[in-house]
Structure 1
Amino acid sequence: MPRPALPLALLLATLLVVPAQAQLPPQSQAAAQANRIVAVVNGEVVSRADIVGRARLFALNAGIAVAPEVLDRLTPQVTRLLIDERLRLQEVQRRRLPVTDAEVADAVRELEQRNNLPAGALRAQLNQIGIQPRVLYDQIRTQIGWSRLLRQQLGPSALPSDAEVKETIRNAQQRVGQTEFLVSEIFVPLDDPRNEADTRRFVDEVIRQLRAGTPFPVAATQFSQAQTALQGGDLGWVRKEEVDPAVAEILDRMPPGAISNAIKVPGGFQIVALRQKRESGRDIATLLSVRQAYFPFSSALDPNNPTQQQRDQVDKAQRLATSARSCEAMEAAARSGGNNQSADPGTIRLETVTPPPLRAMLASLSPGKASQPIITQDGVLVMMVCTREQKNLAELTPEQAQQQLLRDRVELLSRQLQRDLRRRAVIEMRS
């Protein structure tokens, strides 16, 4: 949680302990620089250390060093983001909306899973480069509390009525055949036009890091002020009329996989990543549930000189491929295979499986029939298709329509409340 604000008299006394001309020892100078006050938000301090911690967190996610010039580019916008977060958390606390440590831990685990990281990896990375984990935890706590506040503010009107859901589905059915876009977003607000140049430089820096390989969900969680931030910026499937006209124009020209330049929208700048395109109401997919058993090699395979352990693992896989008649048998074999790989990789969309030979093999397998052993450099794999079904993934369900309506209402309210908090706040910037 943010540090409580110091009483003004105590703060002044602290600042006056060392005369202006006194020379501090190097370690004391570093500590004084880190604790330098950058802003006071309704009596609460945002320090230079807070800003550096957040900038370093972004640099960690981007895989770059925090060089002085990078920190200079990030500082103005990071300062603004921290002020907005402080305002949000103050409002959450004023309304006495608790956010438990368990909820923060759950959000961290979800973030790790979304980025294919093992449990505890984020905390370890933060500690390794000298970033206090609370930098990330405080940010997530604020996001959870703010979401809770918005839902409380909306009250009973937050949940769309059955009539509204039916109308949304009816409208979607009338648009069958139109183009839809699977989009991720980062929204960076701009409240004061005088800060546009600094904000634009920050947005351009984020785009540069995204194109250099920073995962979009990580950057969105760190810097987006949209309500989609906690979901890694995932906006879901949208049509052109559901987004700002400037964004719609860009999406229409973007190829899947591309990241946009900064887009000026009401209230700030938006960055969008286009993940997929499809025709509205038409996305016929072949969905497979499969089971797999993996037999790892103790060393990398040399095809011309396999070890005895590797021969034994291939023999096990061959016996399973010949004898297995059910997915339960595959699960049992996976449990006894001596590795931690899950027998159930989850629902698989056949059309997206790579490489193509693996896709062709799965397409040819009848349910309940095991594949021939698939030998890799690190082990051997046997797969079985349990079920196969065709489904229209683009068909809007009542649950999806409800979530779409709720998301739009929450986002609109969030931006309105943030503007109100800034207008009412007493914010003192320090040089």
Structure 2
Amino acid sequence: MKQTFALLLFATALAATPFARAQLLPQAAAPGQGGTGQDQSLDRVVAVVEEDVILQSELDQAVAAVQQQYAQHPEQLPPIDVLRRQVLDRLILMKLQLQRADDQGVHVSDQDVDQAVAAVAQQNKMSPDQLRAAVEQSGQSFAAFRQQLHDQLVVQRLHQSVVRDSVSVTDSEVDNLLNSPSYKAGEVHLAHIEISIPSGASASDIQAAAAKAKAALDAIKGGMDFNAAAIRYSDAPDALEGGDLGWRRMDEIPPAFVDTIAGMKPGDVSPALRGPTGFHILKLVGQRQPGKQIVTEFHARHILIKPSQLLSPQQAEQKARDLYNRIVNKHASFADLAKQDSDDDTTANEGGDMGWFQQDAWGSAIGQQIAGLKDGQVSQPFQTAEGWHLLQRLGERQSDVTEKAARDQARQAIGNRKADQAYDDYLRQLRSSSYVKILVPALADPDSADAKASP
């Protein structure tokens, strides 16, 4: 049976914004790399995107990938002409982002792609070799699969470069958010339908969007599943995922929609709400209150012996073992030896004291060691990429980190919201200022100039 693999979205910098985000298509073979096997001599250009083009084969393969994803529920997909327009819009946006990234010198190495492949394999509970075999068994090119991961990483780095200098969060903003009713309201699970309005929209554009939003609401009231309605009617990049936004804190939601959501119960669907980018229909899937966050913390001392030009790896290991023997035989204290011999600049002057920390705060290798020790016990020397380590566990406790976690989450929520808005504005400006010509009128928006032009 053919499989569709989830392409991992990397890093919180590319965290999804509730109402406008750039996502990738389900994987589709690149032109000439597997897929339909069409005769490329019969291929045609369906859209010109700046100095690049989108071929019919690219569009067909991407549409086929979406249809494969919904093979068990084809009734959830919109009519084929609407689906083709949706997919083409996403291909155009991807081309534009990749072009802009190239102009700005954004590059991704083969090693970065290898790590991405390993992450997708792990997500699907496979080894990289098993992932390759499964992709090829599904009839797709593994080279095309790697290319899409490459493009995804490029877009992530473009996103980071766009928002890096435009987003900052102050302590006062964090304080205000923590004291706001929206933050105290907890989290909500949302789905949405977006009926977009183009930049500089005319009265007729707005009227057409309002009519489409009404048609979507009527379909939902008539019994259509909300996710199916999102696939059929939504213009958002996540439409083909059913518009599911997952769990969001109330403070992460645009303020214009908070009051509406606050008055809804799970299962309720909002009326069409006018926002800066168009009309939005929201469904409240669920809600929950945050609880206390209690974590286990450890207190320990640390000695690091690094190999150097004067100390070979073998000598570094031997030195670590000599220190271990001096400590366990009580010829010297751990703290004294840490001050004398440790190469860890952050702890040596404190006698190796690492303070209180959560298990993996100093890395998984140290985390595994500390969890296996008893209070007062010293670890056998163990090696990491840094060198040879000794740990002495001093204590363990349960700590309430609710307040700290709340501040961290609030800061991240504000940053994400600002970053999402900044990148959404960037994409809208990029799309409106770029040369895009759709050569097949049936693939253009019905109200656009391209659609009204003759073939």
TM-score (norm: length of structure 2) = 0.49
Whichever residue aligns with residue 158 of structure 2, its letter is: L
Whichever residue aligns with residue 94 of structure 1, its letter is: D
Q: State which of 407, 412, 417 in structure 1 corresponds to 2:416.
A: 407
Q: State which of 35, 41, 51 in structure 2 corresponds to 1:43.
A: 51
- Asked whether the equivalents of residues 191 and 283 of structure 2 are also in contact (C-alpha less than 8 Å), the reply is yes
Counterparts of 2:433 and 2:119 in 1: how far apart (Å)?
A: 34
Q: Does residue 93 of structure 2 align to residue 84 of structure 1?
A: yes
Change (3 A) 1:31 1:78: same
Q: Which runs of 5+ in 1 are unaligned?
A: 5-26, 290-346, 348-367, 369-386
Whichever residue aligns with residue 168 of structure 1, its letter is: V
Q: State which of 236, 250, 260 in structure 2 corresponds to 1:238.
A: 250
Counterparts of 1:33 and 1:267 in 2: how far apart (Å)?
A: 40
Deviations 1:122-170 (A, max 9, x none): 655543443445665555444432332333234445343xxx1354135
Q: State which of 253, 257, 277 in structure 1 corresponds to 2:264.
A: 253
Counterparts of 2:291 and 2:173 in 1: how far apart (Å)?
A: 22
Query: For 1:27-426, what aligned pairs fall within 5 Å after superposition?
Result: 30-31=38-39, 35-64=43-72, 71-107=80-116, 109-110=118-119, 117-120=125-128, 126-133=135-142, 137-160=146-169, 164-175=170-181, 178-183=184-189, 190=196, 192=198, 196=209, 211=227, 223-224=237-238, 236-239=248-251, 242-243=253-254, 245-246=256-257, 249-250=260-261, 252-255=263-266, 265-268=275-278, 276-279=286-289, 282-284=290-292, 396-426=405-435
C-alpha deviation, 1:47, in angstroms? 1.5
Counterparts of 2:146 and 2:225 in 1: how far apart (Å)?
A: 23
- Which range moved further: 31-40 or 61-70? 61-70
When the two chains are superposed, the root-mean-square deviation of aligned CA atoms in Å is 5.2
- Asked whether the equivalents of residues 49 and 436 of structure 2 are also in contact (C-alpha less than 8 Å), the reply is yes
Match of 1:277, SS state, is strand
Deviations 1:171-200 (A, max 9, x none): 314549842224466786735465859987
Q: Which runs of 5+ in 2 are unaligned?
A: 1-27, 298-358, 360-373, 375-395, 441-455
Match of 2:62, SS state, is helix
Q: Tell me the number of residue pairs that the alignment of Structure 1 and Structure 2 aligns.
A: 294
Counterparts of 2:148 and 2:132 in 1: how far apart (Å)?
A: 14
Match of 1:127, SS state, is helix
Find the counterpart in structure 2 of residue 332 from structure 1. none
Counterparts of 1:66 and 1:238 in 2: how far apart (Å)?
A: 33
Counterparts of 1:261 and 1:388 in 2: how far apart (Å)?
A: 50
Change (3 A) 1:260 1:403: same
Change (3 A) 1:395 1:103: same
Counterparts of 2:216 and 2:251 in 1: how far apart (Å)?
A: 28
Counterparts of 2:103 and 2:172 in 1: how far apart (Å)?
A: 38
Change (3 A) 1:235 1:167: same
Change (3 A) 1:249 1:176: closer
TM-score (norm: length of structure 1) = 0.51
Whichever residue aligns with residue 180 of structure 1, its letter is: G
Change (3 A) 1:69 1:270: closer
Change (3 A) 1:424 1:175: closer
Counterparts of 1:262 and 1:137 in 2: how far apart (Å)?
A: 40
Counterparts of 1:172 and 1:286 in 2: how far apart (Å)?
A: 19
Match of 1:46, SS state, is strand
- Asked whether the equivalents of residues 150 and 413 of structure 1 are also in contact (C-alpha less than 8 Å), the reply is no
- Asked whether the equivalents of residues 59 and 87 of structure 2 are also in contact (C-alpha less than 8 Å), the reply is yes
- Asked whether the equivalents of residues 184 and 236 of structure 1 are also in contact (C-alpha less than 8 Å), the reply is yes
Counterparts of 1:288 and 1:259 in 2: how far apart (Å)?
A: 41
Match of 1:411, SS state, is helix
Find the counterpart in structure 1 of residue 346 from structure 2. none
Counterparts of 2:211 and 2:117 in 1: how far apart (Å)?
A: 30
Match of 2:39, SS state, is helix
- Asked whether the equivalents of residues 38 and 46 of structure 1 are also in contact (C-alpha less than 8 Å), the reply is yes
Match of 1:145, SS state, is helix
Deviations 1:256-279 (A, max 9, x none): 7x8989876432466767565234
- Asked whether the equivalents of residues 244 and 265 of structure 1 are also in contact (C-alpha less than 8 Å), the reply is no
The percent of aligned pairs where both chains have the same amino acid is: 18
Match of 2:48, SS state, is strand
Counterparts of 1:191 and 1:393 in 2: how far apart (Å)?
A: 41
Change (3 A) 1:111 1:391: farther
- Asked whether the equivalents of residues 179 and 277 of structure 1 are also in contact (C-alpha less than 8 Å), the reply is no
